[in-house]
Amino acid sequence: MSEARNASGAVVLRGTRIIDPAQRLDAPGTVVIENERVVAIGAGPEVEAAVARVTATGAEVVDLPERWVLAPGFVDLHAHLREPGFEGKETILTGAAAAARGGFTTICCMPNTQPVLDSVDTLAYVLDRARTAPARVRPIAAITKGEGGHELSEMAELVAAGAVAFSDDGRPVESSRMMRLALQYAGPLGVPVVEHCQDEELVSGGVMHEGATSTLLGLKGWPAAGEDVMLARDLALVRLTGARYHAAHLSTAGAVGLIREAKRSDLPVTAEVTPHHLLLTDAWVAGERTGPLAEALAALGLPVPPGERYDTNTKVNPPLRTAADCEALLEGLADGTIDAIATDHAPHTWVDKNSEYGEAAFGISGFETALASLLALTHTGKLALSTLIAALTARPAQAWGLDAGTLKPGALADLVIFDPEEDWMVDPERFASKGRNTPLAGLTLRGRVRQTWLGGRRVYDAATE
């Protein structure tokens, strides 16, 4: 067969269940790809006609097992790729490879690099490094210059250069006046301002959630109120300015309530939650595996061995909270209060984490375990699979107006194929990410990404690992 025979790079993916919440599609079917885009999806005579047409010109036909699931590639609104400046922790290429391994095809990277992504030049650098990456990298620029909290970054130019949102993530915008100005200025630019909700004084020096476990371990805790206070302030400013606002990584029941109420009042707010805040509790810091993930794995008959005390891989900002918070977050996800599941992928080196708990860096390497850990909720009936997929695809894309998250005809053929039933053990040594910092190391999870496709091209295949 000559190369010219399939010049359009046509691919037929068939035989498996397709879930595309943007099209309210959940049925066995076929996806037909040509010139990097979806040309037909589902079942029926139109799809059959498209299949016949492309196979006649030599399309690659991939038959997939019936029990697998094909979905739009996941959209992550919150990731740290560490480049420029912290290439020891991660690079754009290793981060994107980890994203592909986790089924993510669009990843929004946070600006707390060195230098901070607060100028057109650094943004251009990131986009250039991402050209050959196996995931689409969409940069988030800093709200304030150097994330210093004092002067607005050149927001209009940054949006023109490709910034999809603004955030000083890693820290909040402490000054209420500055936050107000950021919202006012960014509003007409059509991109959201993303806040890391945290009252710095209330949480200062804290290394974990304040509660029984922090008392047990003698670690300085930070109260849930530290998040709620800042979110409440921000919502008052959203009411004042009418600007688009997005709350990063909700971790408290109080924050879920505040977002729910704000949405009822039609404020232009959206919110995300991470897999670890949905699934893990502060007791994990003491090596005691309680909460939704541990319960679900036990219910599935998978082993849940105890962890270690002071495991620095459980140190994350905001901190792992209580089972009641996990429950409230899950409820918020199920009822639509929370728009997106975002990983807050935060890779670190071994040295950054191999220290006393108080000294260790905050963050979890999240891309490669996100789907499998979340599937524990669907396997045990706590969350509908369609709701989970929507929160990883259509809803985050819609929240920020990104051209992603669906496989409608005409859309880019970015997709994930996973086996929901495959058991595998989390071995950080096999991560594509440089960050091996995961509290899930050694656990067996159910559900594994088999393939990830970007623009009609396979960028990850578990079969060839």
Site for another protein in 237-266 (CB under 8 A): none
| Of residues 306 and 401, the one with the C-beta less far from another protein | 306
Please answer whether residues 372 and 448 qualify as being in contact, where contact means their C-beta atoms are separated by less than 8 angstroms: yes
Number of residues that bind another protein (CB under 8 A): 25
Which member of 170, 221, 291, 435 binds another protein (CB under 8 A)? 221
Radius of gyration of the chain (CA): 21
Assign 304 to helix, strand or coil: coil
Task: Please report how close the Cβ of residue 215 comes to another protein at its closest, in angstroms.
Answer: 4
Tell me the window of 144-152, 213-221, 242-250, 427-435 that interacts with another protein (CB under 8 A). 213-221
Which member of 57, 114, 176, 215 binds another protein (CB under 8 A)? 215
Q: Which residues contact 351 (CB under 8 A, 6 or more apart)?
A: none
| Of residues 268 and 287, the one with the C-beta less far from another protein | 287
Question: What does the per-residue mask of binding to another protein show for 341-370, with x meaning CB under 8 A?
Answer: ----------x--xxxxxx-----------
Residue 250 to residue 259: CA distance in whole angstroms: 10
Annotated active-site residue 423? The verdict is no
Q: How far is CA 459 from CA 98, 402, 432, 433, 454, in A?
A: 11, 21, 13, 15, 6
Tell me the window of 152-160, 302-310, 376-384, 432-440 that interacts with another protein (CB under 8 A). 302-310
Q: How far is CA 241 from CA 171, 263, 402, in A?
A: 22, 15, 23
Site for another protein in 277-296 (CB under 8 A): 286-287
Which member of 112, 214, 406, 452 binds another protein (CB under 8 A)? 214
| Contact flag: residue 305 with another protein (CB under 8 A) | no
Give the position of tokens 């396979």.
458
| Of residues 176 and 355, the one with the C-beta less far from another protein | 355
Task: Please report how close the Cβ of residue 287 comes to another protein at its closest, in angstroms.
Answer: 8
Tell me the window of 5-13, 205-213, 294-302, 390-398 that interacts with another protein (CB under 8 A). 205-213
| Contact flag: residue 224 with another protein (CB under 8 A) | no
Q: What is the sign, positive or negative, of the torsion defined by CA atoms of 164, 134, 444, 289?
A: negative
| Contact flag: residue 309 with another protein (CB under 8 A) | yes
Maximum CA extent, the chain? 69
Please answer whether residues 81 and 114 qualify as being in contact, where contact means their C-beta atoms are separated by less than 8 angstroms: no
- Measured N-to-C along each axis, helices 370-379 and 385-392 cross at an angle, to the nearest 10 degrees, of 150
Closest by CA to 444, choosing from 429, 418, 422, 424, is: 424
Task: Please report how close the Cβ of residue 311 comes to another protein at its closest, in angstroms.
Answer: 9
Tell me the window of 216-224, 381-389, 392-400, 413-421 that interacts with another protein (CB under 8 A). 216-224
Q: What are residue 353's phi and psi, to 5 degrees?
A: -105, -20
Which of the residues 344, 352, 414, 419 is marked catalytic?
A: 344
List, as one string, the DSSP characters of 122-188.
HHHHHHHHTTT-SSEEEEEEPSBGGG-SSSB--HHHHHHTT--EEE-TTS----HHHHHHHHHHHGG
Closest by CA to 434, choosing from 84, 78, 169, 96, is: 96
| Of residues 235 and 283, the one with the C-beta less far from another protein | 283
Active site residues: 344
Give the interface with another protein as residue ranges (CB under 8 A): 210-221, 223, 286-287, 308-310, 351, 354-359
